[in-house]
Structure 1
């Protein structure tokens, strides 16, 4: 497999050059993500059918919406007895993050205008993560394309199978399949939580979601959990500001007294 040459443009500005990565390695990583997440479409199909949606409605959601978090938020709210408009609004706001992914990927991938509408359908968490993990534009395009195609095909096939098998399985809540999709996303997200700030954000989001679940309508706790990110960033910024302020005062004191060990004049 060809590897990135020294003349290939790097997708990361500044800093040391990223290590070259073979096409085969990129494809393997992309297939792994696509297959792992795509299989959870079965859980969505079962949950959607158990929520009262028809086979056509369930398959249409996966074909047209194609963002697992929003799809699970929608059917979860409907299953809990929520208003369809409220459920749709919640799913919409959960999916707005993909617009921000698109802004970053449009610069990274630099696709032709005719290709962009098709690529926009595949702008989701997994394709964005795989694309951003690559060392240059060419491998980013490969990772994005392979992940998107694998996940789209497998997600829709397993959605159909799940919806068809919902009647045979029976009560989906007894099997716990409604938690399979979120569990997959958490399993993919957990290894990425490396810094203290990221872990604090995740922990606060869980506390907000679970704490507000008994008192807010279905779908709203998920939206409220999103407030964890700005809250943690605000607190982190305050701590950094306090640290710089203390450091500045310390420096001023040294300036008045001269060098360490020297009597102040």
Structure 2
């Protein structure tokens, strides 16, 4: 006789929607490949950010600490632009917050996919980016959505911070980065990061 509390729902047998460990096998190879490509692209931008920030006169620790605490490409580029142009930290922070405000909506939309504990949700909220949101929303099952978030989110965070550190150290070693055209790259990279955000806000 079957217990009235027992279910044969496949999602219960596989642990879908539970707080189990995230596994790479939870995602199709194609999704993992796309995530890896985004990691690589993120690292390239991170190197340029670190080098540009230091080349603009900021000490190495500023872009490194900013990347750990702020962790938002467009917000960081805009804040560094304000600082290197002679603006104060308040103006830089205000500009960064304005550009990064959309992640609050992403955090609410992805709340159920971050985990059930407050610790998971707090850490997860810091890892929310345009890219992680896109990967999560493209998945159908709860287990796949959770895996997409944590695999892409943690990987992007590590790739971004390591590449920013590498770029900052390289910028410090190179000295005058204007010789390599990084000053010209700054507005191009910033524009590429900001335009999608503005389109998303206006949609």
What range is the shorter-chain TM-score in?
0.7 to 0.9
Q: Secondary structure at the match of 1:121?
A: helix
1:174 matches 2:174 = no
Distance 1:8 1:23 in 2: 18
Distance 2:109 2:69 in 1: 22
1:112 matches 2:120 = no
Distance 2:145 2:175 in 1: 40
Distance 1:133 1:185 in 2: 21
CA-to-partner distance for each residue in 1:217-251, whole Å, 9 max, x for gaps? xxxxxxxxx6xx1xxx6xxxxxxxxxxxxxxxxxx
CA-based RMSD = 3.1
Distance 2:161 2:28 in 1: 26
Query: For 2:164, which of 135, 159, 162 is the aligned residue?
Result: 159
Q: Secondary structure at the match of 2:155?
A: helix
Distance 2:57 2:101 in 1: 25
Offset at residue 118 of structure 1 (A) = 1.4
Query: For 2:40, which of 35, 44, 67 is the aligned residue?
Result: 35
Aligned residues between the structures: 180
Unaligned stretches of 5+ residues in structure 2: 1-8, 17-25
TM-score by length of 1: 0.59
Change (3 A) 1:174 1:51: same
Greater CA drift, 67-76 or 176-185: 176-185
Q: Secondary structure at the match of 2:115?
A: coil
Aligned equivalent of 1:213: none
Aligned equivalent of 1:252: none
Unaligned stretches of 5+ residues in structure 1: 1-5, 11-20, 190-200, 206-225, 234-265
Q: Secondary structure at the match of 1:31?
A: helix
Distance 2:147 2:125 in 1: 15
Does the 8 Å contact 2:35/2:152 carry over to 1?
Answer: yes
CA-to-partner distance for each residue in 1:7-35, whole Å, 9 max, x for gaps? 5599xxxxxxxxxx953232222222222
Does the 8 Å contact 1:38/1:152 carry over to 2?
Answer: no
Does the 8 Å contact 2:27/2:147 carry over to 1?
Answer: no
TM-score by length of 2: 0.76
User: Radius of gyration: which is bigger?
Assistant: 1
